[in-house]
Structure 1
Amino acid sequence: MISSFKIKNYHKEAVLTEYQPDLKNEMIDEVKTSLNTHFSKSKNKEILLDGVIINMRKDYLSSPILLEVAHDFPYLKVHFEIEGKLEYIPDNKNEMSITINNGSYNFFYLPKPKGVISLKSKKRKEFSILVTEDYLRKSFKHYFEKKDASFIKSLKKKTSYKLFPESKVIPVDLLLIISDIINCSFQKEIKQVYLESKVKELFSYLFSEMDSQTTEKKEIKLNEIEYNQVVKSEKILQKNIHKTITISDLSQLIGVNEYKLKRNFKIVYKKPVFRYFTDLRMEKAKQMLVKNNVDVSDVAVAVGYKNPQHFTVAFKKKYNYVPSKLRNKVKNL
């Protein structure tokens, strides 16, 4: 299994990296590399597990880079662009392009990857996990028995696949897993077992996302008017996270009775209205704690809690840790 990389706009020779067949690696291995040139300062760390490569990279670019890439094996990868932006354009225009924006991620399958990666951000931070199909089949055997899953169909037909049409903002749940992996300080065998469990935890989340997409397509049976009413109600909740709002208020705003609103909302969003509203508030709180240097008391007010202690209790009930712990943990990414 060989990967080829060549910096197109600097006319350097291609760098070839050879991996064991099926990424076989009985014992954990770590490889660190660095690059220091007039156009780039980069640090890269690969952690090799059995069927898995975890990659952590930091780039400081003085000018944009075009990177010609080719892999002689199918590419199954979840990529997190923690900072920066990455664009992949295949040489074959019939193949799938990949764009991952700042603070976003995607999971994709490319049967014959060959094309150009464009890196334009002066500073970027990447975290990615490359796996083999064999690894996923062994680890998630139950999922591979689902013949209707679009991902499974793509693997069988050897056609390109990406989980989201456009890259999605990295959810805090995944940021925490990434943080655990990056900051793991265990040694050898213990580290290997720990990281293997974290990789499975991360892919469990991704397969759950795939299931959600399939379920939504099958189960939504509302007519267009009813569906639009529910979507409108959800947008109202999004805009009023900092306020107190009742079912009665919501039903009047969208012009539908309370019973129908509660029933239809659960069909579309798979949760009762106010559990969904609470989850929205908690997710907003997590985003504020991760991205901004904001006091917990200010976060509490921003998501509709007048008493910071009540907010802390609700947050811990939802996530099993206090808000201050989250902020400190993500700072170490």
Structure 2
Amino acid sequence: MQLKTTIKDINYKLCDKVFFSEDAQTCELIEEINTYNDPEYGTIKDSHTLAGTFFINYIEVDLLKPIKLEYYTDEPVIQMFFFMKGCSNLMHHQIHYLPAGTKLAKLPATSTVLEYLSILIPQDNYTNLVDSLDLDFEFITTCSNENPAKQIKYSEIMSPEILTTVRDIVSCERTGHFRRMYMETKVTELLLLQVEQLTQTQDNSIKIPKIDIERMHHARELVTQNIITPCSLIDLARKVGTNEFKLKKYFKELFGTTVFGYLNELKMNEAKQKLLKDELNIYQVAESLGYKTPNHFSTAFRKYFGYPPSQIKNQANQVAASFTKAKEIVVSLLCPFITEISVLDLILI
């Protein structure tokens, strides 16, 4: 299968790859980063990874002028697409069916950096992965020519689980075969979560009035935007134009959890990311998420994950310590050889 990505305005190729071929190794890992930087148009950074049967594309866009991107594939593919930053205050996702041939996308000038994650799966491989799930939802095929900001209306807001998995993929620091295995596992997990959410949303939308579906999505947006200082159920209902009874009933029917449950998911997943990635202690994480005391935070964390936040922090510290120790051992083993080489060099001189 061939993929070409070209900036039409200046005929600049960001990507021109052949992958998923029959003679290719399914265990291969291929990575490449292309950066286009122009004083007139701005910057596009395209990082792509071929991991087994998945083509993972992380794109950062900071444009001074709008541009047109042309995509060409010689075979039909399924595209998992995630709006990570810049299109709105929220993070959205969608699934496209892209037929073989040329597709055109319009990228607008930006006031801030836009970030997208795109994952391409050959149609046959996608079918093999989800064949047993008995899916009943329609792919997006009508908006491939619209810019990403307009495509938001076709999207779902990422669930906390999806958001966490997307972050895991983008921030993966493993290398070699471990990176390939990790990426393949995470993309498979992401596909399951994405399809599950889209299927549930379309099934539930039949039973709930359209106006109330819009109100529930608005309510979820407000919760997502205000996880540190959330408003009460009564105030949230008023803000979206409904009452507390309908808010509780329809929110759970549409999203499979209560308003509080959704807020708690957001907080817990954010807390886990902070404990793993940031140099913050438990007290600082608790404070950053609006908890009155570290004890309240620790209790909520243990209840959600089944283990205390100190366990996450200890594991992170152990990994860092192990890595430092490994570096020290390698240096100590190499030092005698380095010395011998230096002495030999002096003798030869």
Map of 2:32 onto structure 1: 32
TM-score by length of 1: 0.63
3-state SS of the aligned residue for 1:27? coil
Displacement of 1:130 after TM fit? 0.9
- What whole-Å deviation, never above 9, does each CA across 1:136-170 have from its counterpart, x for those lacking one? 22222212x34x4334xx8xxxx658997433444
2:110 corresponds to 1:108: no
Alignment equivalent of 1:133, drawn from 91, 103, 123: 123
SS of 2:299's partner is helix
Aligned match for 1:214, one of 202, 207, 215 = 202
Aligned match for 1:279, one of 255, 262, 280 = 262
- Counterparts in 2 of 1:1-333, with a 5 A limit? 1-12=1-12, 16-21=16-21, 25-35=25-35, 37-39=37-39, 40-85=42-87, 103-112=91-100, 113-121=102-110, 123-143=113-133, 145-146=134-135, 148-151=136-139, 165-220=153-208, 267=253, 270-271=256-257, 276-283=259-266, 295-299=284-288, 301=290, 306-319=292-305, 322=309
For 1:309 and 1:315, locate their aligned partners in 2 and report how far apart those are by CA, in whole Å. 10
Higher relative contact order (CA 8 A, sep 6+): 1
Distance 1:83 1:246, change over 3 A: closer
Larger Rg: 2
How far is the alpha carbon of 1:288 from its aligned partner? 9.2
Contact 1:289 / 1:299 at 8 angstroms: preserved in 2?
no
**Structure 2 CA distance, aligned partners of 1:22 and 1:101?**
42
Tell me the amino acid that sits aligned with residue 215 of structure 1: D
Instruction: Tell me if structure 1 keeps the 8 A contact 2:216–2:250.
Output: no
**Deviation of the 1:200 alpha carbon:** 0.8
**C-alpha distance 22-139 of structure 1, shift in aligned 2 (>3 A):** farther
1:72-95 Cα deviation digits (max 9, x unpaired): 32231122233345xxxxxxxxxx
CA distance in 2, matches of 1:268, 1:312: 30
Match of 2:344 in 1: none
Structure 2 segments unaligned to the other structure (5+ residues): 145-150, 275-279, 317-349
Residues 6 and 167 (structure 1), Cα distance of their counterparts in 2 relative to 1, 3 Å cut: same
- Secondary structure at the counterpart of residue 209 of structure 1: helix
Partners in 1 of 2:210 and 2:37 — Cα distance? 57
Per-residue CA distance 1:32-66 (angstroms, 9 max, x = gap): 13335434555433221332111223345454432
- 1:213-256 deviation per Cα after TM superposition (whole angstroms, max 9, x unaligned): 23303555xx899x79x969x78x95999589799xx9xxx889
Instruction: For 2:113 and 2:232, locate their aligned partners in 1 and report how far apart those are by CA, in whole Å.
Output: 42
Say if 1:66 and 1:290 are closer, same or farther in 2 by CA, change over 3 A: farther
* SS in structure 1 at match of 2:120: strand
Residue 203 of structure 1 deviates from its aligned partner by 0.6
Structure 1 residues 134 and 23: CA distance shift in structure 2, 3 A: farther
Q: 1:212 to 1:241 in 2, by over 3 A?
A: farther
1:193 and 1:298 mapped to 2: Cα distance? Answer: 36
C-alpha spacing 1:290/1:23, structure 2 compared with 1 (3 Å): farther
1:131 partner letter:
I
> For the residues of structure 2 that align with 1:14 and 1:242, how far apart are their CA atoms?
42
Q: Which moved more, 1:132-141 or 1:201-210?
A: 132-141
Query: Could you tell me whether the CA contact under 8 Å between 1:7 and 1:14 is conserved in 2?
Result: yes
The residue number in structure 2 matching 1:92 is none
Aligned residue identity for 1:283: L
Deviation at 1:125, TM superposition (A): 3.1
One-letter amino acid of the counterpart of residue 187, structure 2: V
Once residues 119 and 130 of structure 1 are traced to their aligned partners in structure 2, the CA distance between those partners, rounded to angstroms, is 23
